[in-house]
Amino acid sequence: MATETHRFRVLLVDDEFLLADMLTEVLSEHGFEVYAVANAKDALRHLICGSPCDILLTDINLAGSIDGTTLARLARELRPDLPVVYALGSYSRLEQLDAVAGAIFVPKPYNAEKLCEMLSAMARPSH
């Protein structure tokens, strides 16, 4: 049986505590290492200090002065190749969003199996 060299590391940014807690549990059960924070400032601190991160999964509508789209742009300035997944509860504003290139959108509520499959595919090396 082959062992993985590391678990894929997801930086989860969501200010809805119960949702973030549930998603952290589901992702962990599927083999992901999850670092969950409730706001963009804590997420940026995590990235600035050099902590490992394979994927940024952020809610678009975050409380505070930095929303999910701004967070993703700032994260890409720090880590240009970082895969970004935006979560949103409403598609009405989707066309108005200034998303980073290559980002993927997932609807809330989450379909845990599909989300885990998608994150696994994004975290695999493409070469």
Asked whether residue 74 is domain-assigned, the answer is yes
4 pLDDT exceeds 70? no
Asked whether residue 1 is domain-assigned, the answer is no
Residue 46's domain is classified under what CATH number? 3.40.50.2300
Asked whether residue 38 is domain-assigned, the answer is yes
pTM: 0.90
What is the tally of structural domains in the chain? Answer: 1
What proportion of the chain, given as a percentage, has pLDDT over 70?
A: 87
Asked whether residue 4 is domain-assigned, the answer is no
Asked whether residue 34 is domain-assigned, the answer is yes
Hunting for tokens 């300035």 — which residue is that?
77
92 against 30, higher pLDDT: 30
For residue 71, the model assigns a pLDDT of 97
DSSP string, 6-56: S--EEEEE-S-HHHHHHHHHHHHHTT-EEEEESSHHHHHHHHHTT---SEE
